[in-house]
């Protein structure tokens, strides 16, 4: 009986250590752990660097979509990225009458696939140094790689750098970016 209890305790400790190790591989974002067992919205809500993005997703009515099965790749702009937009832009986009514009901006950050950085890098290389990524919002982003870092250029020529890649989610992946990607309007 004691041997069985010891074996069970050892097994439980091994499983706990494995679970902790598996979770530790996901990068932290905004000072918070990102859990591969949680969806995109659940994890984003825990990041202090993505409060503007979360507010925008709520205002656009996209919460249930990004909580859905997916898979999705989200290029997630930080609060600092939103702050770099011209003064008043975020406040204007968050108004109910601008919901369609806000939705367009946000869906230009979403791809209907789970694309890890390594996969994107392979596509860039296969396409001769630049790969076009079509978003759910109908935008075309141009992905490039330089010294192991991926950049995305929006339809206006603005360049976002992926600052944290491959944040695994239960319904896809998040890549944190330092610029808001805007559609041609």
Point out the least confidently predicted range of 6-10, 74-78, 88-92.
Answer: 6-10
Q: Taking a C-beta distance cutoff of 8 angstroms, is the pair 165, 34 a contact?
A: no
Considering the domain boundaries, does residue 183 fall inside one? no
Residue 22 has pLDDT above 50, yes or no: no
**How does residue 147 score in pLDDT terms, banded at 50, 70 and 90?**
confident
| Phi (first) and psi of residue 160, to 5 degrees | -110, 140
Please state the rounded mean pLDDT for residues 166-174.
Answer: 95
The per-residue pLDDT for 53 is: 95
Residue 17: predicted pLDDT: 38
Instruction: Output the domain CATH number for residue 60.
Output: 2.30.180.10
N-term to C-term CA, the chain: 72
Summarize pLDDT for 30-70 with one digit per residue, the tens: 888 899 999 999 999 999 999 999 999 999 999 999 999 99
75 in a structural domain: yes
Residue 54 lies in a domain: yes
Average pLDDT over every residue of 101-119: 95
Given a contact cutoff of 8 angstroms between Cβ atoms, the answer to whether 71 and 113 are in contact is yes
The candidate with the shortest Cα–Cα distance to 39, out of 163, 170, 149, 182, is 170
Tokens 């041997």 belong to residue: 3
Q: Is residue 182 part of a domain?
A: no
Residue 29 lies in a domain: yes
Does some domain include residue 184?
A: no
Domain that holds residue 68: 2-177
46 within domain boundaries: yes
DSSP per-residue letters across 53-77: HHHHHHHHT-HHHHTSS--EEEEEE
- Reduced DSSP (H G I as helix, E B as strand, rest coil) percent helix, strand, coil of the chain, to 5: 40, 25, 35
Q: What is the pTM of this model?
A: 0.84
Q: How confident is the model at residue 113 (pLDDT cuts 50, 70, 90)?
A: very high
Q: Whose structure tokens read 């979509």?
A: 65
Neighbours of 126 (CB within 10 A): 9
Q: Check: CB of residue 72 under 8 Å from CB of residue 78.
A: no
Q: What is the mean pLDDT of the chain?
A: 87
**Under DSSP, is residue 137 helix (H, G, I), strand (E, B) or coil?**
coil
**Domains in the chain, number:** 1
């Amino acid at each position: 009986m004691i041997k069985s209890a010891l074996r069970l305790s050892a097994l439980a400790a091994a499983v706990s250590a494995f679970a902790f190790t598996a979770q530790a591989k996901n990068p932290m974002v905004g000072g918070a752990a990102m859990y591969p067992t949680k969806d995109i919205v659940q994890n984003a809500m825990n990041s202090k660097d993505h409060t503007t993005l979360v507010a925008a997703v709520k205002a656009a009515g996209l919460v249930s979509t990004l909580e859905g099965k997916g898979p999705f790749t989200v290029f997630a702009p930080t609060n600092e990225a939103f702050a770099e937009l011209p003064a008043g832009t975020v406040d204007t986009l968050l108004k109910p009458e601008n919901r369609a514009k806000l939705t367009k901006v946000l869906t230009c950050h979403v791809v209907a696939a789970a694309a890890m950085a390594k996969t994107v890098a392979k596509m860039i290389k296969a396409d001769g140094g630049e790969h076009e990524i079509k978003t759910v919002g109908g935008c075309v982003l141009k992905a490039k790689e330089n010294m192991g870092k991926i950049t995305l250029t929006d339809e206006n020529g603005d360049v976002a750098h992926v600052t944290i890649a491959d944040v695994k989610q239960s319904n896809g992946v998040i890549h944190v970016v330092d610029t808001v990607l805007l559609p041609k309007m």
